[in-house]
Chains A and B, each alone.
Chain A
Amino acid sequence: MATDVQQEQAAATADSELPLVDVDFRRAAFGTVGLALFVGVWWLASLVQPSYVLPSPLVVADTATVELASGEVTTALVNSIQHWIPGTLIGTLLGIAAGVALGWSSLLDDLSSPVVRTLRPVPPLALIGFAIAWFGINHAGAAFIIAIGAFWINFYASYGGVEGVSEDLLDVGRSLGVDSDLELVRKVVIPAAAPEILTGVRTGIGRCWMLVVAAEIFGVPGIGRRILRASNNLQVDVVITYILVLSVMFLLVDTAYRALQRRVLVWR
């Protein structure tokens, strides 16, 4: 075996064992301190404000306990998940498909560019009329609003990723016998653009949790509906409770997704 190969042997075997989740204790410690500071400032601010403007963390903790115990949180969460999951999934898949197709084919890109540019600036909230007319006041209607949000993020991430795929890799693929566009997209373009595509999916997941509130504005039950109703009644402690539920859900899904992403992109 040649010497340059031998020299590399040790190095290559060393980094092949990548931990699935690596816990950075220093970061975790600083994060905890930061969180404590935030709650501290909140608590101090709540001392000089009436409870309907800013309830103290203790009041919110009480409310959260009551809401959890009564099963209200679970009910709202189960409702929201029923449109969050299909909305996110469908929007993500369609966004990636459209982004890859238009990023790859300049013909499709030219054809759809005016339509894309017209539809792009429309906020999902503005489409509530369509959600009601096409799907009704139900999970499907709310899923539609969420899917729109997921779609654009994934569309642009995938589009950019595909555009950035090196022409040289395509040349190599062709020289190794890949003779159809579809095959080239499957075997070279999508894997090469995977880092950008997967980052888009992650951004989209976060955006979809935010859209849960907008998607429930027209009466579909869920966390967003609870927040809107509590807002109308000036129940700020309830509002904060459900915001925290959204945050925790985002944190859980995002952490799980990141672990998956690290695994898929282990080659980077």
Chain B
Amino acid sequence: MAMRHAGGSAISIDGVSKQYDSEQGTVQALADIEFAVEPGEFVCIVGPSGCGKTTLFRILAGLESATRGEVRLDNQRVTEPTPDMGIVFQEYHLFPWRTVENNVAFGLEEADDLSAAERSQRVQQMIDLVGLDGFEDSYPKSLSGGMKQRVALARALAIDPALLLMDEPFGAVDAQTREMLQAELLDIWQETSKTILFVTHDVEEAVKLADRVVVMAKEPGSIRDIVSIDLDRPRQRADAEFGEYYKQVRDLIYD
């Protein structure tokens, strides 16, 4: 498959606000969120629960609309889900009736410019990339959480999106698997030069992965600060500098 996007691509969030009408009156879920992500950059969004991370994620993905402001991907306004953005959810949301192979192939079936041979080659490539060769014919029910998330990642990457948008993707797997998946995601990121926007509530995860960490505050959901993490990878939790970044982000969240 010809790469539609040589590198990553920039996404910008311009003054996004979201209001809900509830029984208690109008709730301001997000207030004036503004930041931009550079092509190929890995950005994590962290914040306390209730800060509107998931709402922001859904607006970024085009699954929900903003009350004010807009999201632009490649300078195109995002109003609905687009194959230029690969989405990975915490709960995987695999198609249970499809095998691993057919889950990964789902998005490619929509691409008319591919021959069947190119398609299956691309699918195999993605399955190898996430380390699931040998599981092509398994159904999701027989996979562990970590493996399901690998399938979801391969499925999102298969359509070669400019941007990967991930909502607490490793929140539902055990600590050991999470560490492994984090390392693999970094490898995949370096290999494919995708832009990654990664929502998490785990400060350590954010400091370990991101080029920059967007720290959110709640009531209303807004940006408290954006912290650049100037550390070489792979990053070690035990490093003194890691600890300093960790403390800095943590203090921003809990002060």
Measured CB to CB, the residues of A under 8 A from B are 1-5, 7-9, 11-12, 15-16, 166, 168-169, 171-179, 183, 187-188, 191-192, 194, 266-268
Query: Does B85 count as interface, using CB distance less than 8 angstroms?
Result: yes
> Are A175 and B82 also in contact (CB < 8 A) when A12-B135, A166-B93, A188-B95 are?
yes
Shortest distance from the beta carbon of A70 to any chain B beta carbon, whole Å: 49
Contact B144 A168 (CB under 8 A): no
- Cross-chain contact of B177 among A4, A174, A188, A191 (Cβ < 8 A): A4
Shortest distance from the beta carbon of B63 to any chain A beta carbon, whole Å: 5
- The CA-CA distance from A16 to B180 in the complex, in Å, is 27
> Are A2 and B180 also in contact (CB < 8 A) when A171-B63, A175-B61, A175-B85 are?
yes
Contact A172 B87 (CB under 8 A): yes
- Cross-chain contact of A267 among B96, B109, B184 (Cβ < 8 A): B96
Shortest distance from the beta carbon of B200 to any chain A beta carbon, whole Å: 19
Contact A8 B147 (CB under 8 A): yes
Give the most central of B81, B87, B89, B131: most A CB within 10 Å.
B81
Q: What are 10 of the A-B contact pairs (CB < 8 Å)? A: A1-B133, A8-B142, A171-B87, A172-B89, A175-B86, A176-B83, A177-B107, A192-B95, A192-B97, A268-B141
Interface SS, B side: loop
Contact A194 B142 (CB under 8 A): no
Contact A176 B110 (CB under 8 A): yes
Interface SS, A side: helix
Q: Which residue of A lies closest to B132 (CB)?
A: A5
- Cross-chain contact of A4 among B86, B140, B141, B146 (Cβ < 8 A): B146
- The CA-CA distance from A8 to B143 in the complex, in Å, is 7
- The CA-CA distance from A103 to B118 in the complex, in Å, is 37
Per-residue A-contact encoding for B119-137, CB less than 8 Å = 1, 0 else: 0000000000001111101
Query: Does B106 count as interface, using CB distance less than 8 angstroms?
Result: yes
Residues of B within 8 A of A171 (CB): 61, 63, 81, 87, 93
Shortest distance from the beta carbon of A172 to any chain B beta carbon, whole Å: 5
Contact B97 A12 (CB under 8 A): no
- The CA-CA distance from A188 to B106 in the complex, in Å, is 10
- Cross-chain contact of B131 among A2, A16, A188 (Cβ < 8 A): A2
Contact A176 B134 (CB under 8 A): no
- The CA-CA distance from A183 to B106 in the complex, in Å, is 12
Query: Does B188 count as interface, using CB distance less than 8 angstroms?
Result: no
Contact B138 A12 (CB under 8 A): yes
- The CA-CA distance from A182 to B36 in the complex, in Å, is 36
Shortest distance from the beta carbon of A195 to any chain B beta carbon, whole Å: 9
> Are A5 and B147 also in contact (CB < 8 A) when A176-B83, A176-B159 are?
yes
Contact B93 A16 (CB under 8 A): no
Residues of B within 8 A of A174 (CB): 63, 80-81
Contact A267 B87 (CB under 8 A): no
Contact A169 B93 (CB under 8 A): yes
Residues of B within 8 A of A266 (CB): 139
Residues of B within 8 A of A178 (CB): 110
- The CA-CA distance from A268 to B184 in the complex, in Å, is 29
Residues of B within 8 A of A8 (CB): 135, 142-144, 147
